[in-house]
Structures are given as structure tokens and as C-alpha cells.
Amino acid sequence: MNIESTREKWLIEGYGQFAEFGPDNLSINNISKVLDSSRASFYHYFGDISMFIDELLSYHWTICKDFNEYGKITCKRLIPDLYDELGKYTLPLKFSLQLFHHRNIPAYNYLFLKSYGATADAFALNLFADHLNINPDKEEVRNLWLTLGEAWYSRLDPDDLSPETLMSHSMEIIESVQKLIRSDLYEVLK
């Protein structure tokens, strides 16, 4: 086994454990057992847990960029296209959900906001604006998109990330967003 493949295995397994169990439960011992690799090899590649987590965050960012490139090509409508694609990315979605739940840590909050914003800029904001039949160039659209995202992530169940469930949450929230847009309050807040 070469050096790169062992390092990559550590990253892939660590990414999965971070996504499934959260950063507080990330265990070098557990990963080393799964990989049948020594803890010494972990320290050889990453030095310490904080460097490893930085690598996991970078790895996630790469996945997010790949998703955005793919989404630009495959997503023509917000519903169902975006949620069909997200349903194919359940592990990265779980990773993002962990970032969302641990936003009190600046690096996690930064990456959550950066990746969510990058998806908006790449293609999702235009799909959202088209779905609501509003001008995508206005700052209010981005604020409404952030509102959708905050509510959507807070409803996610990591054990049910099917496209149907993801879409259902979104449709319920969009209905509330549309009510907000039609309200007197929205006119005051704009």
C-alpha cells in the first residue's frame, strides 16, 4: 500500500465518522481499528487531530465545489432537481449538517456559510428565484434563500435524507416564505 492511499483512507474514514457521529465523537482509535492501521500512521500523516480536522474540512470543500459544478449542469429546476441531486450526496449532506449543528466553532460556521453560499452563487439562487418568480439579483432573494436554508437544515433528520423528504421540507418552508413575501411585515423588512 502506498503512502497516498493510506493517507486517503484515513481521510475518507474520518470524513464518514465526522459526518455520522460529529466532531466531538471523532476518534483516532476507532478509525485506526476500522482501517486496521496504527495510530502512529495517523500521526505520521496528520500530526494531530486539529490538523486532521482541517484536512477533513478541506476535503468537504472540494466535494462541495464538485457538487456545484455538477449541479450547474444537472439542476434545471429547484424542485425536484436540486433535491434529487442532494439525495445522491447523503454523506456530504450529513457532514454539512454536523457543521450546521456545530456553528459555534468558527471554522465550522465559516465552511457551512461558504459552502451554502457557493451553491447559491453557482446555481441554486437562480433556481430559487425562478421557483418564486422573483428577481434573482436582489439582496432580498439571498436573504430569503438563507431563511430557507436555516429552516431546512434545522429540520433534517440524518437517518432520512431521501430526495422525497428533502423536497418535502423545502416545499413546506417555501410555502411559509411565500406567505412572508405577501405579508405587510416583509414590506417593512425589505
What ranges do the domains of the chain cover?
Answer: 3-189
pLDDT tens digits, 141-169: 999 999 999 999 999 999 999 999 999 99
pLDDT tens digits, 25-72: 999 999 999 999 999 999 999 999 999 999 999 999 999 999 999 999
Q: What is the DSSP string of the chain?
A: --HHHHHHHHHHHHHHHHHHH-GGG--HHHHHHHHT--HHHHHHHHSSHHHHHHHHHHHHHHHHHHHHHHHHHH-SSIIIIIHHHHTT-HHHHHHHHHHHHTTTSHHHHHHHHHHHHHHIIIIIHHHHHHHHTS-TTSHHHHHHHHHHHHHHHHH-BTTB--HHHHHHHHHHHHHHHHHHHTSHHHHHH-
| Topology annotation, domain 3-189 | Tetracycline Repressor; domain 2 (1.10.357)
pLDDT of residue 3 exceeding 70, the answer is: no
pLDDT of residue 2 exceeding 70, the answer is: no
pLDDT of residue 1 exceeding 50, the answer is: no
Q: What's the predicted TM-score (pTM) here?
A: 0.93
